Amino acid sequence: MKTRAAILVAQRRPLELAEIELPSKLERGQVLVRVLYSGLCGSQLGEIDGVKGPDPYLPHLLGHEGSGVVEGIGPGVRHVKKGDEVVLHWRPGAGIEAATPRYRWGARRINAGRVTTFNERTIVSENRLTKVPKGVPLELAWLFGCAVTTGFGIVENNAKLQRGQSLLVFGVGGVGLSVVQAAALAGAKPIVGLDLHKPKLELARKLGSTYVFDARSADLRRKLARIFPRGADVVVECTGRVQVIEQAYELTAPQGRTVLVGVPPVGQKASLYTLPLHFGKVLTGSHGGEARPAEDIPRQAALSRSGRLKLEPLVTDRFQLDQINEAIAAVRSGRVAGRAVIEMIP
């Protein structure tokens, strides 16, 4: 069986679109999924740009949030069956952690992780799939693969945000917007969103930010000092820029928590005055909000059914698979206010 796929052949190069060959049979715990929607997030840009250094897996497939339909299951798979609508996610959920699939592109081997979504048909590990809860359309369910679950996880698991606490978010893209929305639902106040891009700020306001500011505005420090005289209880850093990480830490209240979401390029180091860490300030990194998809997705789906969690405004840009490099360029430029989706409707 063949599938169309966008392949990362070399770092800092456009993805190559090609027909690749799927393995002839599914191994234990593997599931064949027809991908219908795939998100595109900062992690893929990081992989393409090589922010973590040289990539030993090239050439390989990409993408870690999607939705689609199960077309076949390998031995041992219990949590999904043929015909099920599923969310594809990168944090492990229920079921078997399967071996990674090996695709072929002519004579070349193509590597892939336990989930990839920039390919129309994909072999996914059972534990990277969760059935789409009732009442959530496939065209929005992919947001539970990373953006929404990560945002909620940051607020609940990393920030441990309490009702009435104040929140400052640096970077209100896909994850930052989900942080804003999750924090608003958790009763944070005030919520301040910062970004360089106006459409993102407007969206952040719509989804629950009390204030939004252009991060370049001249009197930003004064404005933030007025809103947070002792610093913010929680500061979430989504940009991965070293200077912003330093600023985020400094703007955190003495007993507050700084949560790092963005990752700077390998070799870049932040400089921090560490004394406050001995007196109650907490600095922590988030790994996908430590989300637990099997429990989190049904819970957040219920919030979306009741209208409290809004998914539709997060999807602001639509592309086809053969436009993937344009989609990547759009996300990189900051033009994409929320999340870009790759639609693969057959």
Residue 41 or 80: the one with the smaller Cβ distance to Zn ion is: 41
Tell me: does residue 300 bind Zn ion (CB under 5 A): no
- Interaction of residue 294 with Zn ion, rule CB under 5 A: no
**Contact in structure between 123 and 276 (CB atoms under 8 Å):** no
- Quick check: helix, strand or coil at residue 257? strand
Q: What is the Cα–Cα distance from 64 to 118, expressed in whole angstroms?
A: 8
Q: Which stretch binds Zn ion (CB under 5 A): 67-75, 145-153, 257-265, 277-285?
A: 145-153
User: Which residues have CB under 8 Å from 247's CB, separation 6+?
Assistant: 170
**Closer of 29 and 153 to Zn ion (Cβ):** 153
Pairing type for strands 232-237 and 167-170 reads: parallel
Q: Which is nearer to Zn ion, 41 or 244 (CB)?
A: 41
For residue 69, give every residue at least 6 positions away whose Cβ sits within 8 Å of its Cβ, in sequence order, or none.
33, 34, 36, 83, 84, 85, 86, 138
Stretch of 35-43, 103-111, 116-124, 231-239 contacting Zn ion, by CB under 5 A: 35-43
State the binding string over 146-175 for Zn ion (x if CB under 5 A, else -).
Answer: x-----------------------------
Does residue 209 interact with Zn ion by CB under 5 A?
no
CA distance 243 to 237: 11
Q: Which is nearer to Zn ion, 128 or 281 (CB)?
A: 128
Residue 148 backbone phi and psi in degrees, to 5: -75, -45
Binding part of the chain for Zn ion, among 36-44, 68-76, 268-276, 314-322 by CB under 5 A, reads 36-44
Q: Which is nearer to Zn ion, 277 or 329 (CB)?
A: 329
Pick out residues in 39-68 that bind Zn ion (CB under 5 A): 41, 43
Nearer to Zn ion, 43 or 116 (CB): 43
SS3 234: strand
Of the pair 146, 177, the CB lying nearest Zn ion is at 146
Please identify, among the stretches 20-28, 34-42, 207-215, 223-231, the one whose residues bind Zn ion according to the rule CB under 5 A. Answer: 34-42
Extract the tokens encoding 98.
């399967």
- Which of 285, 81, 289 has its CA nearest to residue 182? 289
Q: State yes or no: residue 291 binds Zn ion (CB under 5 A).
A: no
What is the nearest approach in angstroms of Zn ion to the Cβ of residue 64?
A: 5
Stretch that binds Zn ion, among 37-45, 255-263, 272-280, 290-298 (CB under 5 A): 37-45
- Phi, psi torsion values for 150, nearest 5 degrees: -65, -45
Pick out residues in 71-110 that bind Zn ion (CB under 5 A): none
Q: What is the dihedral of CA 167, 172, 176, 178, to 10 degrees?
A: 100
Does 178 engage in binding with Zn ion (CB under 5 A)? Answer: no
* Cα(238)–Cα(274) distance, integer angstroms: 21
Q: Strand pairing of 66-73 and 103-105?
A: unpaired
Burial class of 258 by CB neighbour count within 10 A (0 to 12, 13 to 18, 19+): buried
* CB closer to Zn ion, 187 vs 285: 285
| Binding stretches for Zn ion (CB under 5 A) | 41, 43, 146
